[in-house]
Amino acid sequence: MKNFEFYNPTRIIFGEGTIARLRDQIPQDATVLLCYGGGSIKNNGVYDQVLTTLSSWEMIEFGGIEANPDYDTLMKAILLGREKGVDFILAVGGGSVIDGAKLVAAGIPYTAGEVWDIVTQDVKVILGEALPLGTVLTLPATGTEMNGNSVISRRATEEKLAWVSEAAFPVFSILDPTTTYTLPAKQVRNGIVDAYVHVMEQYATYPVDARIQDRQAEGILLTLQEIGEKALEVPPDYDTRANFMWAATNALNKLICQGVPEDWATHDIGHELTAFYGLDHAETLAVVMPHLLWHQREKKADKLVQYAQRVWGLTGEGEPLIREALDNMIDFFNRIGMPTKLTDYQIDPDQAAARIQARFASRGSRMGEHKAITSDLVAEILRMSR
Amino acid sequence: MKNFEFYNPTRIIFGEGTIARLRDQIPQDATVLLCYGGGSIKNNGVYDQVLTTLSSWEMIEFGGIEANPDYDTLMKAILLGREKGVDFILAVGGGSVIDGAKLVAAGIPYTAGEVWDIVTQDVKVILGEALPLGTVLTLPATGTEMNGNSVISRRATEEKLAWVSEAAFPVFSILDPTTTYTLPAKQVRNGIVDAYVHVMEQYATYPVDARIQDRQAEGILLTLQEIGEKALEVPPDYDTRANFMWAATNALNKLICQGVPEDWATHDIGHELTAFYGLDHAETLAVVMPHLLWHQREKKADKLVQYAQRVWGLTGEGEPLIREALDNMIDFFNRIGMPTKLTDYQIDPDQAAARIQARFASRGSRMGEHKAITSDLVAEILRMSR
């Protein structure tokens, strides 16, 4: 096991009816900036629940935070927050709203330079205290509700960058599984795949005898496999949605990555597929990961065999065993309605390979837990996605 | 799944060589009260490592915190701390030292009443800020290094009481597996059983469809079973000790109990066995739990079958399956040198049953996840421990 440092101070308030707990989590004299997205919370009753709960608080609203939250949008929120003297940020929505609100919470008191510095420079050096941020999660997927990660896009300069800081942990996150009841099936499917691939990125590398972490990772994968199809059913089942929600949080609250190597090449490649073809983030992961794992099967053999045995209960050995496990993964994704090939989207794998190879070659990228996946190998992997 | 609230702000710094990290975790202008126990840290080099690391800090020492830390001892530390104006508590040792240091950290600034109030009254009401507490754990077992629990004995009044508070979380805990290398085999064995039973108390109840929590619990049990015998080997194996240490922390950092019912009757009964017969805490757990689980096999049937299948990989059904799983547990405990019957200690089960029945009857105790274990049933369970 490698040495590690784990710190996660976010308070999780979980279960049906917990939005009312906002009342004891936000100081009564706070001026609150309520951040949300495209307005789905106005249709599913969550917006009304929040406003009713906080009716005696001074509330400033900022709606319209888009998917892949844009720096220019967030700067408007920051300027509004400064103007109104807000001292608490409340994000209500999914991963993009929360990621964006993290920059708002850090950006409002940041006056030492341009707010974009927070995204591009060493936050340990430049960033002091952020405003406190609370969240009400409505879309289980990214894990941002219980970590210090935030991904910000800047469309004006075609950048999309992640920043990570202890100042970006929400002080609390409210997870009420009933807020997911009105999600379209496609977003539930995306969330399941997103969480599943998050776990695999931290698990399917090479063994370092980190047994608790491995079992925790396998437990999340098994849970997602067990509840995946039922999570898509209407009317929704409470416990199924609760397990989905808590699984997605645990997939990226940084417990399972402690002391182990991490991959994340599937994410790196996937981001380019979103950029070139506009696929949803989870869609890109599903068309890359099964092929990447097969391509890397020699380097990842020990963990892929463990995955086959413990997560799919398979027997056998060597490449046929690994192939069977990856076929099971593909079958699982397909069963919940998620395609696993570029050709399912009428995207030519050869064209995608050429474009993305060029992109990575120009950057000299080397990815994965061994930094062994070059742009040439990325092209090989993408050509397999057919 | 039940509703839950999870909060755990303790920073874990894990791995070989991490005691040097004290330097960046304790403010340089702090006056530190170093709390430790009977002096084993002076023989295994940990004391020297700590003092060398903190040679430029102002250090006040308080040694001699005993197993089952005594209120009178801790009051001496509190008075010393007040006299010297300490503003940081550093606990170096096992569960008793850390539990005691939690009261010291809370007690030094507590002037609204008698410090014993912290143990007996509602800490949410009476307790303000505690002094910051850091720990260097040398004995994996209780999980206190990553929770807000503390158990204090008061020998003068024959009391032993637990208090739980968010103010009792260590701000950091350093877990260096090499500090366990000099532990006597008996303490390693005790730690493994302590952690194992902690998990079972939070797991072997009734199902509420809390899949992540169940898998996390099962993962800790599997890990302890896998590493148990090897953890006793000399010379010690680093990864084995690392897995033991992280397993014990995860057994009681309150992740696996979120949203599920809890039992703790084995602990309640075990405390009385320690009081009457002086058995080590873990020894009491091992002579109670297998018999209690068999006695309660109807109420706990679903979870015990799940335990048999997932943790021991058994097939079969009903009572024979449960019996086989509990025999496996007993065999596991015995293999690491832990007896599982009162008669192994030349204690008469009938006498113990009579004594402890009387104790619980006088209190009107009802224990377990259904509050269905009366003093009469405690007597039945203890008579089975032969």
The residue behind tokens 């070139």 is A276
Angle at B300 between CA B297 and CA B304, to 5 degrees: 85
DSSP, res A31: E
Return the SS3 of B89. strand
Q: Tell me whether B155 touches chain A (CB under 8 Å).
A: no
Q: What is the DSSP string of A115-159?
A: THHHHHS-HHHH--PPPPEEEEE-S-SS-GGGSSEEEEEEGGGTE
Out of A243, A250, A258, the one facing B1 most closely (by C-beta) is: A243
Sign of CA dihedral B308, B333, B164, B300: positive
Q: B175: closest CA among A259, A208, A38, A8?
A: A259
Name the class of domain B184-383. mainly alpha
A248 in contact with B at a CB cutoff of 8 Å? no
In this prediction the pTM is 0.98
- Best B2, B6, B19, B257 member to test A by mutation, with max A CBs in 10 Å, is B6
Quick: pLDDT tens for B309-358. Answer: 999 999 999 999 999 999 999 999 999 999 999 999 999 999 999 999 99
> Cβ separation of A8 and B8 shorter than 8 Å?
yes
Chain B contact set for A146 (CB, 8 A): none
Q: Do B212 and A12 touch (CB under 8 A)?
A: no
- Using one digit for the tens of pLDDT, what is the confidence trace for B298-320? 999 999 999 999 999 999 999 99
Provide, rounded to the nearest whole percent, the portion of chain A with pLDDT above 70.
Answer: 100
B256 contact residues in A (CB cutoff 8 A)? none
The crossing angle, in degrees rounded to 10, of helices B185-203 and B265-277 is 140
Chain B residues with beta carbon closer than 8 angstroms to that of A220: 212, 215
Quick check: B209 contacting A, CB < 8 Å? yes
Examine the pLDDT at A159 and tell me if it is beyond 90: no
Q: Residue B109 has what pLDDT?
A: 97
Assign A3 a pLDDT band (cuts: 50, 70, 90): very high
Question: For residue B222, what pLDDT is reported?
Answer: 98
HEC profile of B131-164 = CCEEEEECCCCCCHHHCCEEEEEEHHHCEEEEEE
Q: Return left, alpha or beta for A101; rule: phi > 0 is left, psi -120 to 50 is alpha, else beta.
A: alpha
Give the pLDDT band (50/70/90) at residue B173: very high
Nearest CB among B5, B211, B226 relative to A226 is that of B211
Written as one string, the DSSP assignment of B319-369 is HHHHHHHHHHHHHHHHHTT---SGGGGT--HHHHHHHHHHHHHHHT--BTT
CA distance A41 to A19: 13
**pLDDT for A241-254, tens place per residue?**
999 999 999 999 99
CB contact under 8 A, A211 and B15: no
DSSP A70: B
Question: Does A16 sit within 8 Å of B3, measured CB to CB?
Answer: yes
**Band of the pLDDT at B224, cuts 50, 70, 90?**
very high
Side chain identity, residue A166: E
The fold adopted by the segment(s) A11-179 is Rossmann fold (3.40.50)
CA distance B131 to B107: 9
DSSP code per residue over A216-230: HHHHHHHHHHHHHHH
List the structure tokens of B167: 């103010």
R_g of chain B, CA atoms, integer Å: 21
Q: Directed axis angle between helix A185-203 and helix A281-295, to 10°?
A: 30
Of chain A, the percentage scoring pLDDT greater than 90 comes to 96
Chain B contact set for A311 (CB, 8 A): none
Top residue of A18, A213, A215 to mutate, by most chain B CBs within 10 Å, is A215
> pLDDT band at residue B159, thresholds of 50, 70 and 90?
confident
The shortest CB-CB distance from A18 to any of B3, B7, B219 is to B3
- Say how far apart CA A325 and CA A309 lie, in whole Å: 8
User: In this structure, which amino acid lies at residue A366?
Assistant: R
- pLDDT at position B98: 98
Q: Roughly what angle, to the nearest 10 degrees, separates helices A265-277 and A281-295?
A: 130
Q: What is the mean pLDDT of residues B269-281?
A: 94
Task: Please calculate the CA angle B169-B173-B174 and round it to the nearest 5 degrees.
Answer: 175
Mutate to test the interface with A, among B211, B227, B258 (most CBs of A within 10 A): B211
Are B3 and A17 in contact (CB < 8 Å)?
yes
Interchain CB distance below 8 Å, B216 and A218: no
Mind listing the pLDDT tens digit for each residue in B29-83? 999 999 999 888 999 999 999 999 999 999 999 999 999 999 999 999 999 999 9
What per-residue confidence (pLDDT) applies to A125?
87
Min Cα distance A38 → chain B (Å) is 29
Q: Using a CB–CB cutoff of 8 Å, tell me whether A165 touches chain B.
A: no
Q: Does the beta carbon of A24 lie under 8 angstroms from any beta carbon of chain B? A: no
User: What DSSP letter does each residue of B262-312 carry, written as one string?
Assistant: ---HHHHHHHHHHHHH---HHHHHHHHHHHHHHHTTTTTHHHHHHHHHHHH
- Nearest in space to A263 (alpha carbons), one of A215, A321, A197, A358: A197
Say if residues B205 and B370 touch (Cβ distance below 8 Å).
no
Distance CA A20, CA A23 (A): 6
Task: Check CB contact of A315 with chain B, cutoff 8 Å.
Answer: no
**How far apart are the CA of B177 and the nearest CA of chain A, in angstroms?**
10
Q: Considering only CB atoms, which chain A residues are within 8 Å of B10?
A: 7
Residues of B in contact with A11 (CB under 8 A): 5-7
Between CA A169 and CA A288, with CA A245 as vertex, the angle to 5 degrees is 90
Cβ B21 vs Cβ A4: under 8 Å: no
Neighbours of B28 (CB within 10 A): 9
Q: Is B51 on the interface with A (CB under 8 A)?
A: no
Within chain B, all domains assigned CATH 1.20.1090.10 are found at 184-383
- A243–B210 C-beta distance less than 8 A: yes
The tokens describing A275, both together, are 């950029």
Query: What are the chain B neighbours of A14 within 8 Å (beta carbons)?
Result: 3-6, 258-259
Contact (CB, 8 A) for A356 and A273: yes
Identity of the residue numbered B14:
F
Contact list, B239 vs chain A (CB under 8 Å): 1, 208-209
End-to-end Cα, chain A, rounded Å? 37
Angle at which helix B265-277 crosses helix B281-295, to 10 degrees, equals: 130
Q: How far apart are CA A174 and CA A11, in angstroms?
A: 8
Residue A160 has pLDDT above 90, yes or no: no
pLDDT of residue A153: 94
The reported pLDDT for the residue numbered B45 is 93
B227 CA: distance to closest CA in chain A (Å): 9
Look-up of token digits 């202890």:
A166
Task: Provide, rounded to the nearest whole percent, the portion of chain B with pLDDT above 90.
Answer: 96
Task: State the pLDDT at residue B168.
Answer: 97
CB A337 within 8 A of CB A316: no
Q: Could A1 and B13 be called an inter-chain contact, meaning their C-beta atoms sit closer than 8 Å?
A: no
User: B124 — contact with chain A (CB < 8 Å)?
Assistant: no
A259 and chain B in contact, CB less than 8 A: yes
Mean pLDDT of chain A: 97
Interface mutation target, options A211, A227, A260, A309, chain B, most CBs of B under 10 Å: A211
- The DSSP secondary-structure symbol of B255 reads S
pLDDT given for residue A128 in this prediction: 87
The count of other CB atoms within 10 Å of the CB of residue B171 is 19
pLDDT of residue A17: 97
- What residues in A contact B255, CB-CB < 8 Å? 255
Per-residue model confidence as pLDDT tens digits over A110-147:
999 999 999 999 998 888 899 999 999 999 999 999 99
What interhelical angle do B265-277 and B349-363 show, nearest 10? 110
- Could you give the CA distance from residue B96 to residue A271 in angstroms, rounded to a whole number? 50
CA–CA separation, B91 and B103 (whole Å): 11
Q: What rounded mean pLDDT belongs to chain B? A: 97
What pLDDT is recorded for position A158? 83
- A356 pLDDT exceeds 90? yes
**Which segment of B84-88, B97-101, B152-156, B158-162 scores lowest on mean pLDDT?**
B158-162
pLDDT at B146: 98
Q: Is the pLDDT of residue B125 over 90?
A: no
CATH 3.40.50.1970 region(s) of chain B?
Answer: 11-179
| A5 in contact with chain B, both atoms CB, cutoff 8 A | yes
Q: What share of chain B is helix, strand, coil (3-state, %, to 5)?
A: 55, 10, 35
Smallest CA–CA distance, residue B215 to chain A, in Å, is 5
Is A117 within 8 Å of A73 (Cβ atoms)?
A: no
- Taking CA atoms, what residue in A is nearest to B21? A5
Alpha-carbon gap, residue B147 to B126, rounded angstroms: 20
Which residues of chain B does A9 touch, with a Cβ-Cβ cutoff of 8 Å?
A: 7-9
Angstrom distance (rounded) from CA B76 to CA A89:
45
The closest CB to that of A3, out of B18, B216, B243, belongs to B18
**What percent of chain B stands above pLDDT 70?**
100
Q: Which residue of B has its CA nearest to A174?
A: B5
Residue of A nearest to B210 (CA): A243
Q: Does A176 contact B at CB distance below 8 Å?
A: no
Residue B128 burial (10 A CB sphere; 0-12, 13-18, 19+)? exposed
Q: Are A1 and B15 within 8 A, CB to CB?
A: yes
**Do residues B96 and B65 touch, judged by C-beta distance below 8 A?**
yes
A215/B219 touch (CB, cutoff 8 Å), yes or no = yes
> CB-based contact (8 Å) between B218 and chain A?
yes
